[in-house]
A and B are shown apart, each in its own frame.
Chain A
Amino acid sequence: DTEVTQTPKHLVMGMTNKKSLKCEQHMGHRAMYWYKQKAKKPPELMFVYSYEKLSINESVPSRFSPECPNSSLLNLHLHALQPEDSALYLCASSPFTGELFFGEGSRLTVL
């Protein structure tokens, strides 16, 4: 069982919609991540929060907006997405070893 919980598991949205992906972990990890994964590709890092502060933004378009309300929660706000943004969005957390613990992912389809 994963200790990183992501909701929703599936999301279909139009290009004008606003939606959010949510992630929660209770392992006490201080680093939390958003990754994007396309089929048959490795995951691509989007954002990293360390101690609830945004540490890394991998030049992600502004239509993706991360938020870390507290050390256990991570959100990804979506607005005006494009069909090419359809992908599996993975949340992860890590201890000091850097080992990533992934959630089950949110599969996003943009129509």
Chain B
Amino acid sequence: DGGITQSPKYLFRKEGQNVTLSCEQNLNHDAMYWYRQDPGQGLRLIYYSQIVNDFQKGDIAEGYSVSREKKESFPLTVTSAQKNPTAFYLCASGTGFAMNTEAFFGQGTRLTVV
């Protein structure tokens, strides 16, 4: 089945630890995005990538890092510099170079930092 897979679904980490969230897609999409969702705040863009080996900061990139070594994969690292990392993280992909095309979302990862 074609789709976008995020793992794990739930993740718990101690404060001060870096953590990497996985995102894999087999839709052959060029564009991939990471969003953060907090209650009542909608979706906020963390990073996006429109092509392999290239990525751009979104609106809230501080404390996060990404890589795009393969077209299928766009992992997100939440570093200890992120002040409030507990949130629901959503990865998405889209066709074409433009970001205004339909976005396909993964199931999301709920990160809790204690």
Chain B associates with chain A = no
